[in-house]
Amino acid sequence: MKPLRVFHMSPAGNRWNQQAMAQSFSLANVVPQNRENNQRLWSRIETAVRKIAMSYDDTYVVTGPIFSGQQLQTIGPTRVFVPTQLFKAVYVPSRQLAFAVVVENVSTSRYEIRTIHELEAASGIRFPGIPENLKDQRPGGLKGV
Give the tens place of pLDDT for each residue, 103-123.
999 999 999 999 999 999 999
Range of weakest confidence among 18-32, 46-60, 104-118: 18-32
Residue 117 known to be catalytic: no
What pLDDT, on the 0 to 100 scale, is given for residue 76? Answer: 87
Span 88-102, mean pLDDT? 96
Evaluate whether 10 touches 20 at the Cβ level (below 8 Å): no
Domain locations in the chain?
4-134
In angstroms, what is the C-alpha Rg of the chain?
15
Do residues 101 and 112 make contact, with C-beta atoms less than 8 angstroms apart? yes
Beta-strand (E) ranges in the chain? 4-8, 30-34, 60-66, 74-75, 80-81, 85-92, 97-104, 112-114
Can you give the pLDDT at residue 68?
93
Catalytic residue among 4, 8, 49, 99: 8
CA distance 70 to 10: 27
CB-side neighbour CA atoms (13 Å) of 124: 4
Cβ burial, residue 113 (10 Å; 0-12/13-18/19+): middle
Query: Cβ–Cβ contacts within 10 Å for residue 75, how many?
Result: 14
Give the pLDDT of residue 1: 46
CA distance 105 to 82: 8
Of 27-36, 42-51, 60-69, 94-103, the least confident: 27-36
Sign of CA dihedral 22, 24, 26, 32: negative
Candidates 3.40.50.720, 3.60.130.10, 3.40.570.10, 3.40.50.10490; CATH matching 4-134: 3.40.570.10
- pLDDT at residue number 40: 94
